Amino acid sequence: MSGVSRTRAGAGVSKFHTPEIVSGRGSFPEAATAIGGLGVQRPLVVSDRTIEQTPWFGRLMADLGEQGLRPAAYLGVSPNPRAHEVADGFAAYQAHDADGLVALGGGSVIDAAKGVAVLASNGGSILEYEGIDMVGRPLPPLVTVPTTAGSGADVSQFCIVNDPARRTKVTIIGRTLVPNVTVIDPTLLTTVSPEVTAQTGMDTLTHCIEAYVSLAHGRLTDSLATEALTGVWTNLERLVDDPADTGAGEEMSLASLRAGMAFTNAILGATHAMSHPVGGHCDAPHGTINSVLLPHVIRYNATVCADDFVRLADAVGLSTSGDPRTVADRLADAVGALAARVGMPDTLSPLGVRAADLDLLTSHALADSCMITNPRRPETSGIVDLYRQAL
């Protein structure tokens, strides 16, 4: 594989797709206004039992009622949402005769809500829509309210669902999956545990790096990715140490938003393609898996795009002296060190991955849509080696 860096010009023609974005401290009540403004009368609120215990769930339901709407709720979403949970959510949607959705939660909740929306307009099983542009009909109105700073699901064209039968995650991609409106209020981050903040923050960091080196990158996604990377690098530890640090919360919310807009338009790469099978196989937190794999993938991809990692190293204040491969290694080391400082493991073994699993994980990773835009063309032996290095 050549060590020459690819050109940073990107595609000559590109599209950029985002939802309407409402952001800032105190923006939370706008979610009810937004769903009502889309003509919805009977919204289904998709959330989970953890969020139900925070102030935000009750406030949202009250806000919807004050708008004259008739909401119902589906709270059966778990981390790494299962296909049957999406089906149950759709059953709740039908039982309520709902005409739109509000997702209140992290990436799992938002993905589940997208899955419900897909079934509401397209029918069938959510697993039938694996791949790119498999969702043919427009979705019902969807407003998202992220409660974490990490997944980017609130602005993305991705929906990730766990297939328990195959013990892997299914990646569904299509512009119809981009929500209508996202309401980003950093106040909601104050109720997130430091552990979840660390996991989702490392997911954001992975989005930044993978979007920047993606084969589908462009000048707009590049600028968003580097700005987001700087934001994560300077604020993640602050927010993990003090969830009440509103300044760090605002910056992490912006970083998550920017990274989400970057990766939904540039797509991702080998880290996510490899992470999805591990999440499905071991039911482990997505951001934690990314944090383990990312340094290894940086080194793997640096054989073809080392200059890109030099620019990313510069964005986080690392020395860029030496040859590009050396700088890429320096960035990989720094990513691993940041992950350790916020409490992430440095191997996959504590998450339940075993050497006997690697061939199966590799086959699923190579079939994942995120692998298509990885800058280095993957080969079976190389992906197996990456998993082995991460054990």
Is the Cβ–Cβ distance between 147 and 106 less than 8 Å? yes
- For the cut 50, the answer to whether the pLDDT of residue 195 exceeds it is yes
Q: Tell me the mean pLDDT in the region 305-315.
A: 98
State both tokens at 193: 């545990």
CATH architecture of 20-189: 3-Layer(aba) Sandwich (3.40)
**Cα separations (Å) of 53 from 56, 88, 191?**
8, 21, 10
Section 46-59 average pLDDT? 97
pLDDT at 150 exceeding the cut of 70: yes
Tell me, what amino acid is at 72?
Answer: A
**For position 17, what pLDDT does the model report?**
84
Is the CATH number of domain 193-390 3.40.50.300?
Answer: no
3-class DSSP assignment, residue 58: helix
Give me the pLDDT at residue 5, please: 39
Residue 350 banded pLDDT, cuts 50, 70, 90: very high
Do 110 and 154 contact (CB within 8 A), yes or no? yes
Per-residue model confidence (pLDDT) at position 16: 83
Contact 281, 246 (CB under 8 A): no
Over the chain, what is the mean pLDDT?
95
Phi/psi of residue 367, nearest 5 degrees:
-90, -10
The per-residue pLDDT for range 196-213, each reduced to its tens digit, is 999 999 999 999 999 999
Mean pLDDT of 50-73: 97
Q: How confident is the model at residue 10 (pLDDT cuts 50, 70, 90)?
A: low
pLDDT value for 34: 98
* DSSP code per residue over 322-367: S-HHHHHHHHHHHHHHHHHHTT--SSSGGGT--GGGHHHHHHHHHH
Separation CA 105–CA 57 (nearest Å): 9
Beta strands 142-146 and 181-184: pairing type?
Answer: parallel
Beta bridge mates, 44: 72, 101
pLDDT at site 6: 47
H/E element, 50: helix 49-52
- Is residue 231 exposed (0-12), middle (13-18) or buried (19+ Cβ within 10 Å)? buried
Instruction: Give the pLDDT score at 367.
Output: 95
Give pLDDT, residue 14.
66
pLDDT single digits (tens) 222-275: 999 999 999 999 999 999 999 999 999 999 999 999 999 999 999 999 999 999
For the stretch 28-39, pLDDT in tens is 999 999 999 999
Q: Can you tell me which residue has the tokens 């939660």?
A: 105
d(C-alpha 115, C-alpha 52), whole Å: 20
Q: Is pLDDT at 104 greater than 70 in this prediction?
A: yes
- In sequence order, the 6+-apart residues with CB closer than 8 A to the CB of 184 are 21, 22, 23, 24, 27, 145, 146, 154, 253, 257
Contacts of 300 (CB under 8 A, 6+ apart): 270, 376, 382, 386
Q: How far apart are CA 70 and CA 96, in angstroms?
A: 9
Domain ranges for the chain, please list them.
20-189, 193-390
Per-residue pLDDT of 73-99, as tens digits, reads 999 999 999 999 999 999 999 999 999
- The arithmetic mean of pLDDT across residues 322-351, rounded, is 98
Residue 12: pLDDT over 90: no
